[in-house]
Structure 1
Amino acid sequence: MTATDTSPAPVGEPRRLSPLQLASRYGTVTALALLILFNLVMTPNFLSWQTLNVNLTQVAAIVIVATGMTLVIATGGIDLSVGSLMAIAGAVAPMIFLGTLLPIDNPVLSLALAFLLPIFVTMGFGWFNGLLVTRYAIQPIVATLVLFIAGRGIAQVVTNGNLQVFKNPGFQWIAMGHVAGIPAQVALMLVVAGFAWALIRYTMFGRQILAVGGNERAARLAGISVKRVKSLVYIISGALAGLAGLVVVARNSASDANLVGLGMELDAIAAVAVGGSLLTGGRANIVGTLLGALVIQLVRYTLLANGVPDAAALVVKAGLIILAVYVQQRADRS
């Protein structure tokens, strides 16, 4: 073919990808590799177990939340409430095993409720988000903005704005424990991401999620219950936000409704965007989300380790989102 030939490639000839398509497909892996290489050269003790443990444990909550965000975005939605739902879960759990919410004498029962009740509560708020989106046809960014604002207020009211400091080894195991030598929260992160990956790849519900995000009208004509699919992904997102909230407060040995989950919605959206999932819906790259979260965490670590203020990480994070969306749009057009 000549340089000006626009005919399709012959059968059997591999299709050549444009530079932007290559960047869209392999950009996250390349960015992660470059960050690791830079730190190997410039950052002392980067290969130490302590550094690896810090980065993996810091990224665990981001991945858990971003996994739910990936499913929501795959349907063409968005969930701005995840940070506030983390705060609610993080506020409720200590109140249960400390006895300030429910007077339960059985420590095993109170511990079980401390894990389960907050997640059921955040699932309920996720259902509320889905209700606004599906039944009342409110745009997802507006519908979830409601709990983005009110959710943290609910957490503050529940705790009277007080810091809850605790020491409960059973509850803190979720963040402090280990499974076969792997930090429990990292193992939990991998399990959540693995289930979501299998859901998208192998189940009918996963295909319905992509169909709804790809073309909602066509999905409806094909007999898919669009409202049910959307409602379920918001419930899943709420549940995972609640789980991440438990991990964060267990790791900190304290619950502060003002700080738990603060800015997490931005980290989750950034991880999804950098990971290659289309923010317009129709694509869900769970592995990409995991890698995108690692990129975001390593960017922050790299800046801090080299004396750059933490505030600069916010600017870099914004730049990464813009770049990722730009590359996606250009790659889809080419």
Structure 2
Amino acid sequence: MSDTNVAAATKQTVRGLIIPKFSFRKHGGLVALLIILAFNIAVTPNFLQMQTLFVNISQVATIAIVAVGMSLVIATGGIDLSVGAVMAVAGALAPIIFQSQFGIEYPIIGLILSILVPILMATLCGLFNGALVCVLKVQPIIATLILFISGRGIAMVMTNGQLQTFNMPSFSLLGTGKLLGFPFQGWLALAIAAVIAWVVGKTLFGRYLLAIGGNEQSAHLAGAPVRKVKITAYVICSGLAGIAGLIVVAINSASDAARIGNLMELDAIAAAVVGGAVLSGGRAPIFGAVLGAMIIQLVKYTLLANGVADEVALIAKSMIIVAAVYIQQSRKE
């Protein structure tokens, strides 16, 4: 190769390292987010006000937290339809604990238990899902459909079907508190995403997770603890759903078992898919799921803020999923 060709090739390589080649298939989500933001800044009234920002962050945080957990399950080739119901169970349990006689007499202990016990209950729900999928070999969509149906019923039985209102400022800080002027739940969502992304990218569990989703039989033959990893993915997913349920209750200072987490499973799946997760498994783009959550929430907010009915927002979300699936298919070709 001549010196001129070597120099040209070197220049092209350096340019590619400094300015990565743009690909709509890889960066389409980011482009979509920027377009939605630009539209809202130009058209939507009061979009840049701090109150609007905080409302959107609150909504994005809960979707993002659940979508991160959903990404782990999808990475194994599974799905979890129960996350909304798990949110309802956790959200119903928290006020019962800190408003109990014990919680009133020992408020600090009651506060701690009202956070830890619902999360523990949520992880047990994930263990139940994982056991059905991995031990009894039930299809994931059927296995998680059981809690999708019964979980919300359990939450409503726990609350006698009544709205639980409360005045517990220390608990409400989980949903209304700020850190460095930024909503606390936003920091929490970013921290969870960062930790899970590190786990997926840097640990043996993460390598097993992606290998199982890529080819479960090959991963098993290679010595991967398939059952343990898949159950762990469902446990983490449900645990994160429990955290999201607590945030929703804290934001509203009320727990409504009939509404907490309603349709959250669809938002979480949509966010994960838009963020680059492949429904056949093998990929877990964690920060992509956060990006997808931002897109899902902003599409909903944009339509509602501009007088479009909520039903149209549901249709728009379905179209986003269709577009994401199409992009996935085109990547394979």
Superposition TM-score, scaled by structure 1 size:
0.92
Residue 7 of structure 1 is matched in structure 2 by none
Residue 217 of structure 2 is matched in structure 1 by 217
Residue 89 of structure 2 is matched in structure 1 by 88
Residue type at the aligned position of 2:29: T
Residue type at the aligned position of 1:31: A
Identical pairs, percent: 53
Residue type at the aligned position of 1:22: S
Residue type at the aligned position of 2:81: L
- 1:54 is aligned to 2:55: yes
- 1:276 is aligned to 2:276: yes
**CA displacement at 1:294 relative to structure 2:** 0.4
Alpha-carbon separation, structure 2, partners of 1:31 and 1:59: 16
Q: Deviations over 1:137-167 (max 9, x none)?
A: 1110000000000000000111110110001
Residue 205 of structure 1 is matched in structure 2 by 205
Alpha-carbon separation, structure 2, partners of 1:148 and 1:45: 37
Residue 171 of structure 1 is matched in structure 2 by 171
Alpha-carbon separation, structure 1, partners of 2:122 and 2:56: 27
Q: For residues 11-22 of structure 1, what are the structure 2 equivalents within 5 Å?
A: 22=23
Residue 146 of structure 1 is matched in structure 2 by 146
Residue 253 of structure 2 is matched in structure 1 by 253
Alpha-carbon separation, structure 1, partners of 2:45 and 2:178: 26
193-202 vs 129-138, which moves further:
193-202
User: SS where residue 300 of structure 2 aligns?
Assistant: helix
Q: For residues 227-266 of structure 1, what are the structure 2 equivalents within 5 Å?
A: 227-266=227-266
Residue 35 of structure 2 is matched in structure 1 by 34
Residue 99 of structure 1 is matched in structure 2 by 100
Residue type at the aligned position of 2:60: V
**CA displacement at 1:287 relative to structure 2:** 1.1
Residue 183 of structure 1 is matched in structure 2 by 183
Residue 19 of structure 2 is matched in structure 1 by none
**CA displacement at 1:24 relative to structure 2:** 2.5
1:275–1:290 contact (8 Å) kept in structure 2: yes
- 1:162 is aligned to 2:134: no
Alpha-carbon separation, structure 1, partners of 2:191 and 2:43: 33
Residue type at the aligned position of 1:149: I
Alpha-carbon separation, structure 2, partners of 1:244 and 1:211: 28
Q: Deviations over 1:71-101 (max 9, x none)?
A: 000010100000000000000000000007x
1:24–1:276 contact (8 Å) kept in structure 2: no
**CA displacement at 1:39 relative to structure 2:** 1.1
Residue 320 of structure 1 is matched in structure 2 by 320
Alpha-carbon separation, structure 1, partners of 2:75 and 2:169: 37
1:129–1:143 contact (8 Å) kept in structure 2: yes
**CA displacement at 1:103 relative to structure 2:** 6.2
Alpha-carbon separation, structure 1, partners of 2:41 and 2:162: 42
1:130–1:232 contact (8 Å) kept in structure 2: yes
Q: What 5-or-longer segments of structure 1 have no aligned partner? A: 1-10
User: SS where residue 207 of structure 1 aligns?
Assistant: helix
Alpha-carbon separation, structure 1, partners of 2:58 and 2:150: 28
Runs of 4+ aligned structure 1 residues displaced above 4 Å come to: 11-14
**CA displacement at 1:44 relative to structure 2:** 2.1
**CA displacement at 1:22 relative to structure 2:** 3.0
52-61 vs 146-155, which moves further:
52-61
2:133–2:139 contact (8 Å) kept in structure 1: yes
**CA displacement at 1:104 relative to structure 2:** 6.0
Residue 3 of structure 2 is matched in structure 1 by none
User: SS where residue 23 of structure 2 aligns?
Assistant: helix
Residue type at the aligned position of 1:298: L
Residue 226 of structure 2 is matched in structure 1 by 226
Q: What 5-or-longer segments of structure 2 have no aligned partner? A: 1-8, 17-21
Alpha-carbon separation, structure 1, partners of 2:49 and 2:105: 43
**CA displacement at 1:53 relative to structure 2:** 1.2
Residue type at the aligned position of 2:87: M
The alignment of Structure 1 onto Structure 2 pairs a total of residues equal to: 317
Alpha-carbon separation, structure 1, partners of 2:216 and 2:25: 24
2:277–2:283 contact (8 Å) kept in structure 1: yes
- 1:74 is aligned to 2:56: no
**CA displacement at 1:45 relative to structure 2:** 2.2
Alpha-carbon separation, structure 2, partners of 1:255 and 1:303: 27
Alpha-carbon separation, structure 2, partners of 1:50 and 1:164: 26
User: SS where residue 278 of structure 1 aligns?
Assistant: coil
Residue type at the aligned position of 1:252: N
User: SS where residue 170 of structure 1 aligns?
Assistant: helix
Residue type at the aligned position of 1:200: V
**CA displacement at 1:332 relative to structure 2:** 1.2
1:23–1:327 contact (8 Å) kept in structure 2: no
Residue 114 of structure 1 is matched in structure 2 by 114
Residue 5 of structure 1 is matched in structure 2 by none
Superposition TM-score, scaled by structure 2 size:
0.92
> Over aligned residues, Cα RMSD in angstroms?
1.6
